[in-house]
Amino acid sequence: MAQTIDHIVDPSDSSLASEMVQFPGTAGTVSAYVSRPKDGRNLGTVIVIHENRGLVGHIKDVARRFAKDGFAAIAVDCMGRIGGSDQYNGSDAATEAIKKVTGAMVAEDLGAALSYMKKQSYVNGKVGVVGYCWGGGQSLNFATKCTDLNAAIVYYGRNPDPLDSVANIPCPVMGNYAEDDANIMPGVEPLKAALAKAGKSFDCKVYPGAKHAFNNNTNADRYHPDAAKDAWGRTVSFFKKNLA
């Protein structure tokens, strides 16, 4: 069994500026966790979309990891319209409640986050999006609706519906998938075909022996250190190439 780690980057890391922020959205105030190199300038922005348990400590840690790798990361609380992630505290109730959150709601809130980040003095104007599990599907969905993205990454998420909407994606796409993921894997080849038909760039990798949510280092049943490390390296390289 994989060893679990509460966080990879210390929440109080002195080289980073990390905080919760709020900004206006279509349906009210949106909350998000922002982390960036404290003295960083001209940074690419990475929008991080959480799993189906909400904006938990693990996802904030993922944002800090992106900051340590030289990006300005913003992890949006996509459960804000149903009371916010904190009230669920990453419980099973969160996975039930999040079913009320539609792709249209998420796209609006992520769009508000993008607008907020573009106004910050430390960014370069280029924006990428990455999502995990539930957020992986939301990452692809957002990419079909936002013309202002420079890169989009899905970690084991569902395909957009309708699938041919991927023709609207304005940027290169990367996919990181787990071979032992019966719910998601059937969609990978159709996604490849749809993106190819639309002339879109898709860098896709499937990890043998890995399960759904293999990147989550706080979940001993799912975490696959080798796959997580390789996928992280791919992710950072992809963003550095497209957000520089």
Structure tokens at 244: 């520089």
Average pLDDT over residues 129-134: 98
Q: Mean pLDDT, the chain, as a whole number?
A: 97
Confidence band, pLDDT 50/70/90 cuts, at residue 1? low
CATH 3.30.1360.10 fits 16-243, yes or no: no
CA distance 222 to 215: 8
Helix, strand or coil, per DSSP, at residue 67: helix
pLDDT digits (tens, 9 = 90+) for 196-211: 999 999 999 999 999 9
Average pLDDT over residues 158-172: 98
Contact 73, 50 (CB under 8 A): no
Average pLDDT over residues 24-50: 97
- Terminal-residue alpha carbon distance, the chain: 38
Give the ranges where 5-145 is alpha helix by DSSP (H).
57-68, 92-97, 103-118, 134-145
* pLDDT above 80 (res 140): yes
pTM more than 0.95 = yes
Q: Quick one: 184 exposed, middle or buried, by C-beta within 10 A (0-12, 13-18, 19+)?
A: buried
